[in-house]
Structure 1
Amino acid sequence: MLRFLTLENQKETDLLSIYLQDGSLNFWPSTVPEELIDELFPENLLVANTYDAYTFTVKKIENQ
């Protein structure tokens, strides 16, 4: 996901949710319902926030 979002044709000011909610990009395993992504993913994050969102998520998982 990070490699895809750091390609030159992605704009840092695009909403990250646009890409992460696109089922054709296969960012999520089939066990994760698309409705759940739509419901829970913050829409105000930008492509520029990809790495920070990833590290935040990893830290949250590790602290559980």
Structure 2
Amino acid sequence: LSVQLSQPVKGQLAARVVDSKGQVVYQQSGINLAGSNLLQLSVAHLPQGTYQLTLTNGSDFTATGSFVK
């Protein structure tokens, strides 16, 4: 899964994927970002279904979206 995003300053970012049952099925953190970035998340191991992705830097940025695999 590829996600294009832009951060005005360098910082840490945490990504979390939750399945339709509310279980966290993937987490990735410690991603340093500055400017425009393409975030690659490895979701190949996940079964078909609908998932919610949350990206946050822990302070002033949170973005959510969903995807179907």
TM-score by length of 1: 0.31
TM-score by length of 2: 0.30
Higher helix share: 1
